[in-house]
């Protein structure tokens, strides 16, 4: 089972696409709204070096944006 964390904002279309994709695969994930949680925004930046969202952490591997082929590879698909 993959350990998935997504750092997102409420207005981010690619964030919504990523979350819908995980739901379509029946995968659970933890979501952090970095627009309202500065500590999680700092954590996201520390992991990725990026301020843009989404940043997706799959078992410790970082995906910048919703890069579906990379997400699938990290999920073992």
CATH of the domain at 58: 3.40.30.10
Alpha-carbon span 60 to 64, nearest angstrom: 13
Residue 51 has what pLDDT? 95
Whether 39 has a pLDDT exceeding 90, the answer reads: yes
Alpha-carbon span 76 to 35, nearest angstrom: 30
Domain residue limits at 65: 4-74
Count of positions (residues) in the chain: 77
Look at the chain and report how many structural domains it folds into: 1
Q: Look up residue 69 and give its two tokens.
A: 């082929």
Alpha-carbon span 69 to 77, nearest angstrom: 9
Alpha-carbon span 8 to 65, nearest angstrom: 10
Whether 77 has a pLDDT exceeding 90, the answer reads: no
pLDDT in tens, 14-38: 999 999 999 999 999 999 999 999 9
Taking the whole predicted model, whether its pTM rises above 0.75 is answered as yes
Residue 1 has what pLDDT? 78
pLDDT in tens, 45-64: 999 999 999 999 999 999 99
**Omega within 30 of 0 (cis) for the link into 54:** yes
């Amino acid at each position: 089972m993959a350990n998935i964390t997504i750092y997102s904002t409420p207005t981010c279309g690619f964030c919504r696409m990523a979350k819908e994709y995980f739901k379509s695969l029946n995968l659970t994930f933890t979501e952090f709204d970095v627009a309202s949680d500065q500590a999680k925004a700092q954590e996201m930046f520390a992991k990725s070096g990026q301020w843009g969202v989404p940043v997706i952490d799959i078992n410790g591997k970082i995906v910048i944006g919703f890069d579906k082929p990379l997400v699938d590879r990290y999920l073992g698909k």
